[in-house]
A and B are shown apart, each in its own frame.
Chain A
């Protein structure tokens, strides 16, 4: 029972999600779904907050796949200093979603809460995955759940195609992870997520990068899917968190120097593209995919250099600061302080949670670092731009909504600062200049943009430049070219099928057999001493 305690939080959330669905089916007149969801989320948050302290590092076998002569691995969970902050972030997100949903009464109902809690519970389990098998299972569960939820809300054929593309990229990530697991097993040392070997870190980074859309750069949702704000936020952040944990774990090993350069360059490119797109987005929901891409690229850049704490710091900034902005649906001037706190959580100034994230920058500073610095500055400007908007206003709501909604938002920076302070350890007394530089660059950008905005002649060329740059960096042109290659290849295979299935098919089979045996005999004679 005590072994189960560190993992009780996601299990409780799963129970609450099931209970909400059960109540809706059994008692249609039941009106207290929200209360059940909030109480469950509070309990889950408390369990998550004290999980690590309660048991220290612990591992739990979920089920034993038998016989062991057939199955080498069984699903297991792991609670340690990496999985705990992610788990806490997701538990906080669950509570924040529930509390802020009071301001979105029109679009919130039991199914949204149940769906959000279910996804977040799966995410919490995924960040606690104890081995690649468990991670693959939980990734698959998250992908399927997210697919089904989004499918019900998408209205256009094009968006559905995008959904399938996103799903296939995620499946690609699962396959790369399994490939890494196979390679490690063949090498005689099964992949251990709590102690990743440098020999396989490149594959793991690829797996996580593929799922995040960073390697190779691909963004299936160039426009955000129109899904309810809280459910959309939950699904996006859960999916990101479940991939980021792998980045952080891999960062403990780092990457061999030859591959590191390429991966770092890719991360810089993606960060820059994402930052421009985030800044140019219509609003924070429209730009959400770019936020995930941008902050995910920073985490990848840190992981490539073996900076596990920096990767963790960026991952948490993505979840907490992003979560705050995406749940900030009802705007008011008095709540701008919260946006400022969210920004501080991301900026990387000294004594703030993301100060550790600044370890991502190399010394002496290179071209890649400058690109990252610029990207960070643009992300900050974008955050300010989307956060300081005052529409839609939070007006005409009952007083109790005013009492609860701000608390839901406050919770995210509060926990971020608390967890960040605890996680910073010795680094909290360091003075990272890069955060200040990013802030200064952001300020410069804002000043320049204001000047340009006054001169109408500059607006059109700058807009065009931004559009062209994102067009090139998005690599859409490359994927279109690859798709054009697919068709002739398919026609070739169709032709071959028609030939072997036609009237002369048996003769063709015999011909292939002769060829096949000739090749085999050549191979054998070549192998003979």
Chain B
């Protein structure tokens, strides 16, 4: 028994089997949720590399698996990340059943997470880049409708496949530097190459356009899932670089990361303030989230423990908010298209089509707004404590960075307030009726309650998230 078998091959195999059970959707969802839940429980409880007694039998889960000269290594340090990955999958699969996503969501979701686990564990770590590119490829059927070309997907794939050779090339150069003396010019070259690679993979300005384009054409819930999973995995790959080559995080790199991070937060915020499409609005929030992750990483040079704590603490509010936002948007999109069959999907979420929709879909509207305001750092909601903490830490470096980020958040809040105005813009007394299905209502209310719970009591969740920094023993030391 080894780790690869449990957390990579097993979910991938389950995904493959479920591909053949497409006619029994309910069964597919149940199996998907049970598999994800079991794997997260196993990650939480099973010690890796230590003897386990089961009655009279005793066995050890080997922490590595070698294939074609490459190893997949998962140690006890990685367990918290695995828990988050598979627990998150339970949440996403639960929502997918209600968001009317593509039938392949569960099988491909399992496959994607298996690949993400592989990317986390592969040695040499550079091979994570092609695995991430493969993950993006697997996600394609989730992001587009069968038979309809999706320009956003094309651009995503173009940028990802342009980006990963840069990562491999920079890894090759870095390995060369380990044996040869370092000089400033080669360091600059390597930094530029790595920067380009990650800019393409993460959708960093000016390569961010695919994010909004995806949300214009795909199912919002499925797109939110991909936009949550991929950037986190790519950022962790970036951190792996710094873990392996800590001298990369020089003062100059920190400055560049801060500049790019602030740019993304401010641009995302300003764009959100002027946005008129609910789907694109999530895109702006995702762009800002990437900016915040970069800003957290930029703090590695001054206080690596704090930087990693903030980086991992950002993940839970992001996943929770994006999931609820995506689900609520899917409910509204389906409702709009149900009411007007001729409405193209990319126009269903335009402001002019959702005016006064809060009257008919109050739960979805409220959940959407709470998720939006959560990512905008509105007090009481999940995103607030960690944003405040990050802004505090950044302000210590430079108050202008903190205030610029606050400006970006104000832009996203302005977008939320405009959405609110559109949702309640109807003449006469609001005749409230709730046209969501009961399971949709339940899940959305539960999600909204979670947003408030995490926002008010972050101390119940943050310690767990902070433990994930153990993935990087050198940086977290």
Q: Are B395 and A186 in contact (CB under 8 A)?
A: yes
Which stretch, B10-18, B96-104, B305-313, B325-333, touches the partner chain A? B305-313
In the complex, are the beta carbons of B462 and A182 less than 8 A apart?
no
Could you tell me how many residues of chain B have their Cβ less than 8 Å away from some Cβ of chain A?
61
Specify the chain A residue showing the minimal Cβ separation from B459.
A66
In contact, A69 and B305 (Cβ under 8 angstroms): yes
A152 touches which one: B310, B399, B430, B463 (CB < 8 A)?
A: B430
Q: Is A508 on the interface with B (CB-CB < 8 A)?
A: yes
CA distance A520 to B205 in the complex (A): 14
Interface residues of A in 146-160 (CB under 8 A from B): 151-152, 155-157, 160
CB 8 Å contact bits of B406-419 with A (1 = contact, 0 = none): 10011001100100
A136 to B413: give the CA distance in the assembly, Å: 15
Q: Given A69-B305, A70-B309, A509-B209, are A160 and B425 also a contact pair (CB < 8 Å)?
A: yes
**0 or 1 for each of A508-526: is its CB under 8 Å from B? (1 = yes):** 1100110011001001100
Minimum C-beta distance from A134 to chain B (A): 10
Pick the interface stretch among A30-38, A401-409, A499-507. A499-507
Partner of A183, one of B158, B209, B395, B457: B395
Among the stretches A87-95, A170-178, A337-345, A469-477, the one at the interface with B is A170-178
Residue among A73, A144, A494 making CB contact with B380, cutoff 8 Å: A144
Q: Is the CB of A178 within 8 A of B378?
A: no
Query: In the complex, what distance in Å separates the CA atom of A15 from the CA atom of B270?
Result: 42
Select from chain A the residue with minimum beta-carbon distance to B376: A171
Near A by CB (< 8 A), chain B positions 288-310 give: 305-306, 309-310
Contact A524 B274 (CB under 8 A): no
Given A67-B466, A174-B379, CB of A186 within 8 Å of CB of B399: yes
Residue of A66, A486, A500 touching B206 (CB-CB under 8 A): A500
A497 beta carbon closer than 8 Å to chain B: yes
Contacts of B420 in A (CB 8 A): 164, 167
A493 interfacial contact with B, CB 8 Å: yes
Do A182 and B209 form a contact, CB below 8 Å, given A70-B310, A137-B379, A151-B424? no
Which secondary structure dominates where chain B touches chain A? helix
Decide: A516 and B206 in contact? CB cutoff 8 A: yes
Q: Which residues of chain A are within 8 angstroms of B254 by Cβ–Cβ distance? A: none
Could you say which of A155, A178, A179, A505 contacts B209, with CB atoms under 8 Å apart? A505
Task: Identify which of B192, B271, B396, B463 contacts A66 (C-beta below 8 A).
Answer: B463
A71 x B425 contact (CB < 8 A): no
Contact of B389 with A by CB under 8 A: yes
Question: Residue A192 at the B interface, CB < 8 A?
Answer: no
Which residues of chain A from 68 to 85 have a CB within 8 Å of any chain B CB? 69-73
A140: interface (CB < 8 Å): yes
**Within the complex, which residue of B151, B398, B421, B457 is in contact with A63, where a contact is CB–CB below 8 Å?**
B457
- A139 partner residues in chain B, CB cutoff 8 A: 379
**What CA separation (Å) do A77 and B196 show in the bound complex?**
49
Residue among B207, B274, B310, B389 making CB contact with A493, cutoff 8 Å: B274
CB distance from A490 to the nearest CB of B (A): 5
Q: Distance in Å from the Cβ of B381 to the closest Cβ of chain A? A: 8
Q: Within 8 Å CB of A70, what residues of B?
A: 306, 309-310, 313, 386, 389, 462, 466
B360 within 8 A of A: no
Prevailing SS type, chain A contact patch: helix
A63 vs B386: C-alpha distance when bound (angstroms): 16
A-side interface size class: 35 or more
Docked CA distance A69–B424 (Å): 41
Task: State whether A179 touches B406 (Cβ < 8 A).
Answer: yes
> Residues 370-397 of chain B: 1 if any A CB is under 8 Å from the residue's CB, otherwise 0?
0000000011100001101101100110
Within 8 A of A (CB), among B208-262: 209, 212-213, 252, 256, 259
A152-B430, A168-B414, A182-B403 given; A508·B206 CB < 8 A: yes
A141 within 8 A of B: yes
B338 close to A (CB within 8 Å): no
Is B111 an interface residue, CB under 8 A from the partner? Answer: no
A460 contacts B by Cβ under 8 Å: no
CB of B183 within 8 A of chain A? no
When chains A and B are docked, how far (Å) is the Cα of A493 from the Cα of B212? Answer: 14
- The chain B residue sitting closest to A157, CB to CB, is B427
Q: What per-residue 1/0 map shows which CB atoms of A484-497 lie under 8 Å from chain B?
A: 00100110011001
Q: Which residue of B lies closest to A175 (CB)?
A: B410
Residues of B with C-beta under 8 A to A160 = 421, 424-425
> Which chain A residues border B95 with CB–CB below 8 Å?
none
Specify which chain A residues have a CB less than 8 angstroms from the CB of B391 in the assembled complex: 178, 182
A463 located at the interface, meaning its Cβ lies under 8 Å from any Cβ of chain B in the complex? no
Q: Does A133 contact B (CB under 8 A)?
A: yes
Q: Which B116-168 residues have a C-beta within 8 angstroms of A?
A: 151, 155, 158
Q: In the bound complex, how far is the Cα of B400 from the Cα of A182, in angstroms?
A: 10
A69-B309, A160-B421, A183-B402 are known contacts; what are 7 more A-B pairs with Cβ within 8 Å? A66-B463, A73-B388, A140-B378, A185-B395, A501-B212, A520-B259, A524-B252
Which 4 pairs between the two chains have the least Cβ-Cβ distance?
A512-B206, A140-B379, A186-B395, A186-B399
Q: List 24 A-B contacts (CB under 8 A).
A: A63-B459, A65-B385, A67-B462, A70-B310, A70-B313, A70-B389, A70-B462, A70-B466, A71-B385, A71-B388, A72-B392, A137-B379, A137-B456, A156-B428, A157-B426, A157-B427, A160-B424, A164-B420, A164-B421, A175-B413, A179-B403, A501-B151, A501-B212, A513-B196
Interface residues, chain B, with chain A CB atoms under 8 Å away: 151, 155, 158, 192, 196, 199, 205-207, 209, 212-213, 252, 256, 259, 270-271, 274, 276, 305-306, 309-310, 313, 378-380, 385-386, 388-389, 391-392, 395-396, 398-399, 402-403, 406, 409-410, 413-414, 417, 420-421, 424-430, 456-459, 462-463, 466
